[in-house]
A and B are shown apart, each in its own frame.
Chain A
């Protein structure tokens, strides 16, 4: 485990914490972009130049798509946890991952990837479980998937280029979905809160009338 690897892992963890804990949605999207762009570097050995570049570009593109959505988020819609608490959770997850050597977890990848992955999962679980804000939920889902890919890297070793490419596609698709659903929520409800209540059974006239 090299210091550079740990530094890249720490950058991912901080990016994940900012992505899920920053009050300003645009700063959160910046944190996401940092996390996703740094994540491909947390591997030993590093992926080839082309898959690495693809991962970085996909991460930046995903962050940009979330930034597009962030511009429509009202200022009052903050994360469920503040930034300090989220940073604390990320630090705890990172420490657990780095200490995994102590329990001899069988794996083929670096500790730093496990640390960064666990940190990302730790900060993402809270918003996914409790938030009713569609933007925060989407950001947390992106962080969770990014964290899972890092955990996969830690357990199974540096992913094959095809896996890296597919992961980049999924992250971009998820970011696009976040942009779409955030825009739709703002258009339909004027905010980014997931509407309350169970979906009612559609009346016959409504369903027969189609989508519009």
Chain B
């Protein structure tokens, strides 16, 4: 039952944020407020009694709570960063609509309803993000997203439908090898397309071009994560018994995964736009998702359920970082922003934090989960290759940091720094001594003078809040990005009980249909 309030609040919030998006200030307040309320409701989701709906069920779980909480918390910070840089009216509605769809998809029992929920979420978020204001590039991107979501849904539904036909009792008998191989390849295609694995990578890169950057976390990271959670939750149970006879097919998926890891890393290393760097790190990590699918192993599934949260949180932080970076320097081209660390050390700190979260070290959840996935699907030289490829995101971030350490370009040199500033009038008023009479003597008189001075400063600050905010957009953005990096670090470290939630079984149902997100 605890999912229902969240769904209601998120859907209502999405509608309100969308209706008010034409009003800059009101739309901002409504959008951010709705996200905060939905975040609070998501934090209250717990593994309670499933709610029966039409022969199926809807239930919360610890993992679902973490997915939605991290999605909305990261999305909220990205929205704040984006709002401090520009005005993106469609982003809050897209975030809320997408989060509501994810809640549906992962809360429903059974794979077909989960896939249908994920498709509905993708369609809703894409339309809310790209539908208005209309522009040719957005129409093109929206058409691509609709085509991708629909075809992924069709392949997933048919693949999920084949398994009951060949193995009516789940777990009782292995599926017919030919059918099982078709199913595995179909589901691998869906995962590859949703995450943007090579050669289906163009979607992510073009989405980064066309979509409002505030909506990119939900479109490029969290929705693919939801698709991945559904399919990875289903695969070991449906195809695990047949895994012995699927050597060739699993080999094909592993090959695709390795190619994605390596070529995605290379692509991320040669991109010039920071948004494209982030997009290709998403592409590269699609290889890890594919390896988790190819493993067909419950241990890899549990690891993937934890790793996906780290993946999406770090990508959300990286997207927030790119927004702040572009806003600080007016461009996202690395060749024009050499030496950016001199002007934006706080962004450097944040990016270093994101680097640590993305790569991690042995003993940390992010590292261990990734290694479990790699070891479940590969061995020998392939494991070495996969291991090297999985560090591609770290390499791409290191390259950006190295560029930042160079000699400052003209653009960087002429940009504003990150130090907080006060309006000139405010500074002058705060510095003015007592207007009349002799200087007060004694401790009490001095305290009174100080209090009066503070009152003057506070009144002036209230009057000058807007100019102060305008002057301090850069440090505020940097602060929000540091918070994003902190969130990513916490997720990578396994805070919030991510590991336990990923391993916890879903709610018990009388029906054999498992909870894909539970």
Contact with B along A143-163 (1 / 0, CB 8 A): 011011101101111011111
Contact of B53 among A149, A165, A212 (CB under 8 A): A165
Contact A152/B330 with A106-B176, A170-B119, A185-B139 known, Cβ cut-off 8 Å = no
Contact of B332 among A144, A151, A180, A204 (CB under 8 A): A204
Contact A174/B150 with A155-B162, A157-B164, A209-B86 known, Cβ cut-off 8 Å = yes
Contact with B along A174-202 (1 / 0, CB 8 A): 10111011011101110000110011111
Q: State the majority secondary structure of interface residues on A.
A: helix
A137 at the interface (CB under 8 A from B): yes
**Interchain CB contact under 8 A, A195 and B54:** no
Count of B residues near A, CB < 8 Å? 68
Q: Given the complex of chains A and B, what is the CA–CA distance between A205 and B333 in angstroms?
A: 12
Contact A188/B150 with A155-B164, A207-B326 known, Cβ cut-off 8 Å = no
A166 at the interface (CB under 8 A from B): yes
B160 at the interface (CB under 8 A from A): yes
* A185 (CB) vs chain B CBs: closest residue: B139
Which residues of chain A are near B161, meaning CB under 8 Å? 151-152, 154-156
Interface residue stretch chosen among B141-149, B224-232, B420-428, B462-470: B141-149
B132-174 residues with Cβ-Cβ distance < 8 A to A are 132-143, 146-147, 150-151, 153-154, 157-158, 160-162, 164-166, 168
**Interchain CB contact under 8 A, B55 and A160:** yes
**Interchain CB contact under 8 A, A156 and B146:** no
**Interchain CB contact under 8 A, A200 and B153:** no
Which residues of chain A are near B162, meaning CB under 8 Å? 155
B7 at the interface (CB under 8 A from A): no
**Interchain CB contact under 8 A, B143 and A165:** no
A23 at the interface (CB under 8 A from B): no
Which residues of chain B are near A134, meaning CB under 8 Å? 139, 143
Which residues of chain B are near A210, meaning CB under 8 Å? 85-88, 212
Question: Distance in Å from the Cβ of B186 to the closest Cβ of chain A?
Answer: 12
Which residues of chain B are near A174, meaning CB under 8 Å? 123, 146, 150
Which residues of chain B are near A27, meaning CB under 8 Å? none
Contact of B127 among A180, A185, A187 (CB under 8 A): A180
Q: Given the complex of chains A and B, what is the CA–CA distance between A164 and B53 in angstroms?
A: 11
Which residues of chain A are near B166, meaning CB under 8 Å? 106
A81 at the interface (CB under 8 A from B): no
Contact A128/B151 with A152-B157, A208-B330 known, Cβ cut-off 8 Å = yes
**Interchain CB contact under 8 A, B165 and A107:** yes
B378 at the interface (CB under 8 A from A): no
B74 at the interface (CB under 8 A from A): no
A173 at the interface (CB under 8 A from B): yes
B453 at the interface (CB under 8 A from A): no
* B336 (CB) vs chain A CBs: closest residue: A204
**Interchain CB contact under 8 A, B123 and A149:** no
B109 at the interface (CB under 8 A from A): yes
**Interchain CB contact under 8 A, A155 and B137:** no
A61 at the interface (CB under 8 A from B): no
* B131 (CB) vs chain A CBs: closest residue: A180
The listed residue with most B CB atoms (<10 A of its CB), out of A149, A183, A199, is: A199
Q: Given the complex of chains A and B, what is the CA–CA distance between A108 and B166 in angstroms?
A: 9
Contact A148/B154 with A204-B330, A212-B133 known, Cβ cut-off 8 Å = yes
Q: Given the complex of chains A and B, what is the CA–CA distance between A202 and B327 in angstroms?
A: 14
B218 at the interface (CB under 8 A from A): no
B116 at the interface (CB under 8 A from A): yes
**Interchain CB contact under 8 A, B87 and A211:** yes
Contact of B273 among A108, A159, A176, A201 (CB under 8 A): A201
B503 at the interface (CB under 8 A from A): no
Contact of B132 among A151, A157, A184, A199 (CB under 8 A): A184
Question: Distance in Å from the Cβ of A145 to the closest Cβ of chain B?
Answer: 5
**Interchain CB contact under 8 A, B133 and A208:** no
**Interchain CB contact under 8 A, B87 and A212:** yes
The listed residue with most A CB atoms (<10 A of its CB), out of B157, B166, B206, is: B157
A167 at the interface (CB under 8 A from B): yes
A51 at the interface (CB under 8 A from B): yes
B117 at the interface (CB under 8 A from A): yes
Q: Given the complex of chains A and B, what is the CA–CA distance between A76 and B350 in angstroms?
A: 54
Contact A156/B164 with A173-B123, A181-B146, A188-B135 known, Cβ cut-off 8 Å = yes
**Interchain CB contact under 8 A, A108 and B142:** no
B210 at the interface (CB under 8 A from A): yes
**Interchain CB contact under 8 A, B139 and A208:** no
A138 at the interface (CB under 8 A from B): yes
Question: Distance in Å from the Cβ of B105 to the closest Cβ of chain A?
Answer: 9
**Interchain CB contact under 8 A, A152 and B112:** yes
**Interchain CB contact under 8 A, A108 and B88:** no
Contact A151/B157 with A141-B150, A162-B55, A211-B87 known, Cβ cut-off 8 Å = yes
Question: Distance in Å from the Cβ of B471 to the closest Cβ of chain A?
Answer: 17
Q: Given the complex of chains A and B, what is the CA–CA distance between A183 and B165 in angstroms?
A: 42
Q: Given the complex of chains A and B, what is the CA–CA distance between A154 and B112 in angstroms?
A: 14
A-B contact pairs, 11 of them (CB 8 A): A144-B150, A145-B154, A151-B161, A156-B164, A169-B120, A178-B146, A180-B131, A187-B134, A199-B206, A210-B87, A212-B133
**Additional A-B contact list (4), CB under 8 Å, known A162-B109, A185-B139, A195-B136:** A148-B158, A166-B108, A181-B142, A207-B213
